[in-house]
Structure 1
Amino acid sequence: MSYIKYTLVVIFCCSFISVSAQMNSKNLKIINTKKNVFKNLQLIPIKANNTYRKAYQNIGKYDNLKKAIESGKIEINDSGNVNTLIAINKSNVNVYIIAGEVVKGGKQDRLVAEDVIIAPGEKKNIPAFCVEQNRWQQKESGNNFNGYYNVSSKEVRKAALVDKNQSKVWANVAETTQKNQATSGTGTYAELAKSKTYTKDLNSYLEFFKNKLINKSSVVGVIAVSGDKIIGCDIFATHDLFKNAYQGLLHSYITEAITNGSKPTLSNAQVSKYYENFMKIEAEQEKKLEGKGTVFKYKNKKLHLTSF
C-alpha cells in the first residue's frame, strides 16, 4: 500500500513539475527595455523563472554547429539530393544545429531546414535548402561542407522553416544579396561576407550587441524588433542553448535590420501583445504558430521555439 502511495506521489510531483515549468508567459517574462537598441535593431530579453530553469537544468551539454565544424567534431557531406545533407558526429558531445544555419561546400551551399540534434557517434540525414542557385559542382572540399556562415536573414530563414519553398528561398537570397551589393556568379548567400558596406554595418552592430544578454544566466531567449515589426523571436529551454545560438541569431537579426529595417518604433504594449498572443497557453502554441513559426522538441522536451 505504501509503495502505491509512493508511486502516486512521484507521478504527481513529476506531473506538477512538467505543468509548472511549461514554456509560457507565466514562466518566461519579457524585459521591456530601451537599453538594447542600436540603429535599426532592438533586442528584448526573455527571462526564465527558477521553476522553469530547474526543470531543464539536466538536459545535458550541446556544442553548436560553428564550433563543431571548426574543431572537426562533425562531418557534413552532400548526399546527392539537394534537400538532404548527411551529418556524422565524431565527438562525445551532442551537436545542436539551428534551422537557418548556412554551411558552405559540397556541390552548392545549403541552409539547414529544421533544428536537429546529432548525438555522439550518430549519423543522421539533415533536411536542407539550396542557397547557391547557380552551382552544382564540387569545390576543393569535395562532398564535404567544411565552411560555416551563420544563420540566414529573417526572410530567407522563414522561407525555409515555415514556407518550406525552395523558390522562395532563392528569391529571398537574391533580394538580400542584391540589396547589400553582394551579388555573385553562383548567387550564394555567403557572398555577403565580401560586401564591404554590409560588413562594415554588420561589424558595428556586432560590436554593440556581442556581449548583450548572454551574461545573464536567467535569459533564455530574445525578441528582435526593427521598425514597426517583430523580425524574430527565439526561445530556448536553457540559457546555455540560447548562448550557443546567440551569435548566429545575431547575424540573422542584424542582416534583416540592415537589409529591410528602420529605427525601432514598437511600444512596450505592442511587443507584450505580440508575445502574449502565442505564449500565454503552451497547449495552443503550435496551432497559433502555424505559418508564423516552429517548435522543436527532442525526447519529448520542447527545446526551441521560433516565431517571425
Structure 2
Amino acid sequence: METVTKSLSSFTLGDVVAFQGLAMVPLFGESADPDYLLLEEALRSGCAHVDEVSESGNVNQLLFVNHCERPVLLLDGEEIRGAKQNRVMNLTILVAAKSELRIPVSCVEAGRWRHDGMEFAPSKQMHYAQGRSARMSQVSDNIRISQSRQADQGEVWNNISQKMERMELHSPSAAMADAYDQSEDRLETYVQALRFVENQVGAIFGIHGQAMGLEYFDSTTTYSRMHEKIVRSFALDAMERKGQEEVFTGEQATAFLNRVIASSMESFDALGLGLDVRIMASSVRGGALVENGRVVHLCAFHVSEGAQTKNSSSRLARSSRRGQRY
C-alpha cells in the first residue's frame, strides 16, 4: 500500500479543462517505457486472443491466451466485442508472457447469447464511469468476502438498462456498445475538447462540479493510448446530466486526490502478475495493480452515499435468498 500512496502523493496537477459538464485535470508524474502490451495491441498483432471458455460458454469467464513475448495488460472496464456476447474486464490484470489465464468479466449485452464471430475484437469503448464504479464496488466486496473477482451480473445489466432509459436510447440486445454508437457524434466533441496533454500520466475527472474519478498509469505512452477511451467513459455520464453546468476546480480535484490517498487499502495476490490493491473507503472505491514495486495502473471513483446503501441492500437481499430453499 505504501507504493500506492507514494505514487499518488507524487503527482503534479495541471490546469482544469472543461466542456459541456465534463472537466479534466491532467496528472503529471514519473513515467517509464511500458514493458507490456495493451490488450488492443496484442489482439491486433495476433499474438494473443480471447475465447469463450468452452463451446457452451460462461457469461462471467473468458480464456485469455498470450503467445506474446511480453505480458499483456487487461484494464478494468475495457470492453471486447463479439463471440457469444460483449464483455468488460472486472479488474486490471497483467497476464504473463507465453501463458493462458481464465479472466473474470461482466456481460454488457444482456439480449444476445449466440456467436457473432468466433473470437473477440477490441473495442474503442470502456464501461462508462458510473457503471464501472458500481461494478468495482461489487468486485472489491467479493474479493474481501470470498476471494471471488465476480460482479453482480444482474446489477450490471440493470445499470445499463436504466442508463439507456435515462438517455432515451434503444438497443435490440441491450448492449452498452449501442449507447456509445448512438452517441458517437457528441462523444467525439468531448474527445476533441479534452485532448491528451504532453507528458500526462493520468487525470481526475469531474462532472457538473463533482469529482467523479481518477485514472493513472505508470507510463505516459500507455495513458496516451487509453486517453480517448477514458474520456468517452466519463463523457457518456456527463451527457445525461441536465441543467446548468457547475464549475469544477483544481481545489476540488486536489481534495479528491487526497481522499483517495487517505482511503483504507487492502492487498491481495493478483490473478496474473503482481499485487491487486483495493481502495475501499466510504466514499471512494478503486483498484490498483502493483508489480515490481511500481503502480502499473490505478483507478478510483467517487461513490455516493445512496449508491453505497443500495449496494449494501442488494448484497443483503442476495445473501437472504441464498439461505432460502426452493
TM over 0.5: yes
- Give the corresponding residue for 1:24: 8
Equivalent residue number for residue 84 of structure 2: 107
| Corresponding residue number in structure 2 for 1:75 | 49
Cα displacement (A) at 1:112: 0.7
Quote the Cα distance in structure 2 between the aligned partners of 1:250 and 1:161.
18
Aligned residue for 1:257, secondary structure, equals helix
Distance 1:133 1:37 in 2: 34
Identify which of 252, 255, 259 aligns with 1:270. 252
1:204 paired residue number: 189
Whichever residue aligns with residue 132 of structure 2, its letter is R
2:72 corresponds to: 95
Of stretches 298-307 and 186-195 in structure 1, the one that deviates more from structure 2 is 298-307
- The equivalent of 1:222 in structure 2 is 203
Of the structure 1 ranges 288-297 and 245-254, higher mean CA displacement relative to structure 2 is found in: 288-297
In the TM superposition, residue 194 of structure 1 has moved relative to its aligned partner by 3.7
TM-score, normalised with respect to structure 2 = 0.75
Partner Cα separation in structure 2 for residue 150 and residue 28 of structure 1: 27
Displacement after TM superposition at 1:254 (Å): 1.4
Say if 1:170 and 1:74 are closer, same or farther in 2 by CA, change over 3 A: same
Does 1:168 pair with 2:152?
A: no
CA contact (8 A) 1:87 1:123 kept: yes
What SS is found at the alignment partner of 1:76? strand
- Change over 3 Å in CA distance of 1:175–1:272 after alignment to 2: same
Whether contact under 8 Å (1:159, 1:165) holds in the other structure is no
Secondary structure in structure 1 of the residue aligned to 2:223: helix
CA contact (8 A) 1:75 1:88 kept: yes
The Cα shift of 1:187 comes to 0.5
- Count residues in correspondence: 273
Calculate percent identity across the aligned residue pairs: 20
- One-letter code aligned to 1:122: S
Secondary structure of the 2:26 match is strand
Among 152, 156, 160, the residue aligned to 2:127: 152
**Which stretch shifts more, 71-80 or 95-104?**
71-80
Higher strand share: 2
Matched residue of 1:126: which SS? strand
Distance in 2 (CA, whole Å) between partners of 1:76 and 1:283 is 31
Output aligned runs, 1:1-308, within 5 Å.
Answer: 22-25=6-9, 27-31=10-14, 33-34=15-16, 36-48=17-29, 53=30, 57=32, 60-79=34-53, 80-139=57-116, 141-142=117-118, 144-163=119-138, 164-195=151-182, 198-210=183-195, 212-213=196-197, 215-216=198-199, 219-260=200-241, 263-279=245-261, 286=278, 288-289=280-281, 292-299=285-292, 301-308=294-301
- Segments of 5+ residues of structure 1 without an aligned counterpart are 1-17
Alpha-carbon distance in structure 2 between the residues aligned to 1:113 and 1:145: 16
Unaligned ranges ≥5, structure 2: 139-150, 267-276, 302-326
Q: What secondary structure sits across from 2:37 in the alignment?
A: strand
Q: Distance in 1 between matches of 2:189 and 2:171?
A: 24
Q: Distance in 1 between matches of 2:247 and 2:106?
A: 33
Q: Is the 8 A contact 2:201 2:219 kept in 1?
A: yes
**Root-mean-square deviation (CA), in Å?**
2.7
